[in-house]
């Protein structure tokens, strides 16, 4: 074997010398981090005696790459994203346009024509974007009624979730997560060295406010993530409940990624009254720009200042900013698409209700969660539909084991989905 290795899992640090195949065991160490520093020490020692080693014909030692990675990240389970369209297409042996993609809550209508025109006539793609996304923030202020100084834009709402945690969490701090919900909160907490206190939703997917209150009072978590409408069930949080949680000593991040489909107003303006409230939104759903990655958030002024300092300067690309601005120039299109999706959601709900082995939940969003009943297997249902070119979301976590989620598509996509489900009955 060539060079030295650190074996992080057994916490033994070893340098192996090729010339005579002699192993020097440095120490047995109980902590990976101390193992790592001991090994760096050994590496330094090894380099100091390089001339002697050279004389002995010793090859340069090497540390294995994972030994450089922070210990908490070595244990991180990778996030499981959905398959890219092209990969899916190859796997299913179908052209992308022949796949009915109802698994990721994307907006099947895409953005208004202004976006394609703006992208086709980008003047300065070779110049870095505006780090403050000034044009877009001004457009968002007009769109939302909240002044642009309260608004920060990100590479998707996803980036802002991570940025908030980077600014707020010390290693060992915790967040409150209310599953089933969007799994990025849990994932980003793990990346940011935070722990997760789970307060599961009740059977009807409403928040367990009593338990949330207890946990906040006793365990002093830093942030609670609330999603309204919630992904995956589509339920919303009432103003009363939100106000109760806002009274607690915790930073509340209200994720409104799907608010446009709810018929309710956004709470963006509430950040002026509540120092502990952040509201997140996105262009991915309302404007069909998931692929261009633009999200935004409303923050109290006392918080936004630090996000500005910590964010990557060029986090929103020229293409993303131009596209989002162009989308906001056509509010009629955005409204028409939203109305079409909400109408289709109601039609889809009625159709799913008639399926003998599905129990759909009423939704305020652009997806519908269904319990798979009558002894049917949810995973098999997803796989059977995928074979027919219809993608829906299935879950492997324990809270949602017997459930599937169907995004709302165009009417013709609903028809294909229902035809395929009918063939499985």
Ligand X SMILES: Cc1ncc(COP(=O)(O)O)c(C=O)c1O
- Residues at the interface with ligand X (CB under 6 A): 105, 156-158, 182, 227, 231, 255, 257, 282, 284, 290, 295
Nearer to ligand X, 276 or 407 (CB): 407
String of DSSP letters for 344-402: HHHHHHHHHHTSTTEEEPP-SSSEEEEEE-TT--HHHHHHHHHHTTEEEEE--SGGGTT
* Torsion 276-169-82-401 (CA) sign: negative
Closer residue to ligand X in complex, CB, 100/294: 294
What is the nearest approach in angstroms of ligand X to the Cβ of residue 262? 12
CB of 233 or CB of 344, closer to ligand X: 233
Alpha carbon distance 51, 57 (integer Å): 10
Give CA–CA dist 230/220, Å, rounded: 24
CB-nearer residue toward ligand X: 8 or 156: 156
The answer to whether 320 and 125 are in contact (CB under 8 A) is: no
158 vs 260 by CB, closer to ligand X: 158
- Closer to ligand X at the Cβ: 17 or 404? 404
CB of 28 to ligand X, least distance (A): 45
Q: Least Å distance between CB 135 and ligand X?
A: 19
Task: Say which residues have a Cβ less than 8 Å from residue 52's Cβ, sequence separation at least 6.
Answer: none
Residue 300 three-state SS: coil
Sign, CA torsion 219/220/222/225:
positive
Two tokens, residue 367: 């997806």
CB of 184 vs ligand X, minimal distance in Å: 7
- Cβ 79 to ligand X shortest distance, Å: 12
Query: In this complex, which beta carbon is closest to ligand X, that of residue 163 or of residue 381?
Result: 163
> Nearer to ligand X by C-beta: 256 or 344?
256
Distance between CA atoms of residues 151 and 166, nearest Å: 18
Report the nearest approach of ligand X to the CB of residue 187 (Å): 12
- Identify which of residues 257 and 368 has a Cβ nearer to ligand X in the complex: 257
Q: Which residues contact 119 (CB under 8 A, 6 or more apart)?
A: 319, 322, 323, 326
Least distance to ligand X, CB of residue 3, Å:
41
Is residue 37 within 8 Å of 54, Cβ to Cβ?
A: no
Instruction: Give the span between the Cα atoms of 94 and 92, in whole angstroms.
Output: 5
- The CB-nearest residue to ligand X is 156
Q: How far apart are the first and last CA of the chain?
A: 58
CB of 57 to ligand X, least distance (A): 54
CB of 83 to ligand X, least distance (A): 15
Q: CB of 232: closest distance to ligand X in angstroms?
A: 8
Closest CA relative to residue 224, chosen from 184, 273, 185: 185
β pairing state of 223-227 and 195-198: unpaired
Return the CA Rg of the chain: 26
Task: Choose between 144 and 282: whose C-beta lies nearer to ligand X.
Answer: 282
294 contacts 303 by C-beta, under 8 angstroms: no
- Residue placing its CB nearer to ligand X in the complex, 148 or 181: 181
What gap in Å lies between CA 345 and CA 366, rounded to an integer? 7
Using CB atoms within 10 Å of the CB of residue 103, give its burial: 0 to 12 exposed, 13 to 18 middle, 19+ buried: buried
CB of 230 to ligand X, least distance (A): 7
């Amino acid at each position: 074997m060539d060079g030295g290795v650190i074996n992080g899992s057994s916490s033994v640090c070893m340098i192996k010398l090729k010339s005579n195949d002699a192993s020097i065991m440095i120490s047995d160490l109980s902590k990976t981090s101390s193992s790592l520093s001991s090994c760096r020490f050994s590496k330094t020692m090894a380099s100091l005696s390089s001339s002697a080693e050279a004389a002995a014909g010793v090859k340069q030692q090497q540390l294995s790459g994972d030994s450089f990675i922070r210990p908490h990240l070595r244990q991180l389970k990778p996030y499981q994203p959905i398959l890219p369209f092209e990969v899916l297409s190859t796997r299913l042996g179908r052209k992308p346009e022949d796949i009915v993609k109802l698994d990721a809550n994307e907006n099947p209508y895409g953005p208004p024509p202004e976006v394609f025109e703006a992208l086709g006539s980008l003047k300065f793609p070779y110049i870095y974007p505006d780090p403050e996304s000034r044009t877009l923030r001004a457009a968002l202020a007009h769109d939302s009624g909240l002044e642009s100084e309260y608004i920060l834009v990100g590479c998707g709402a996803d980036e802002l979730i991570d940025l908030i945690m980077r600014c707020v969490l010390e290693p060992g701090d915790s967040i409150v997560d209310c599953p089933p919900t969007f799994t990025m909160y849990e994932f980003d907490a793990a990346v940011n060295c935070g722990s997760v206190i789970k307060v599961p939703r009740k059977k009807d997917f409403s928040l367990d406010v009593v338990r949330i209150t207890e946990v906040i009072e006793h365990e002093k978590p830093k942030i609670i993530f609330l999603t309204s409408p919630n992904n995956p069930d589509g339920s919303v949080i009432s103003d009363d409940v939100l106000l109760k949680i806002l009274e607690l000593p915790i930073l509340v991040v209200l994720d409104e990624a799907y608010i446009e489909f709810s018929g309710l107003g956004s709470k963006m303006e509430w950040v002026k009254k509540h120092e502990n409230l952040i509201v997140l939104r996105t262009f991915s759903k309302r404007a069909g720009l998931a692929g261009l990655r633009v999200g935004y958030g409303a923050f109290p002024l006392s918080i936004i200042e630090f996000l500005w300092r910590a964010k990557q300067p060029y986090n929103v690309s020229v293409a993303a900013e131009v596209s989002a601005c162009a989308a906001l120039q056509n509010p009629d299109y955005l409204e028409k698409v939203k109305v079409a999706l909400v109408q289709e959601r109601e039609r889809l709900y009625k159709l799913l209700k008639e399926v003998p082995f599905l129990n759909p939940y009423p939704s305020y969003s652009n997806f519908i969660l269904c319990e798979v009943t009558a002894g049917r297997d949810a995973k098999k249902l997803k796989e059977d539909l995928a074979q027919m070119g219809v993608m829906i979301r299935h879950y492997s976590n324990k809270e949602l084991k017997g459930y599937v989620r169907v995004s709302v598509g165009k009417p013709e996509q609903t028809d294909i989905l229902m035809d395929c489900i009918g063939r499985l009955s």
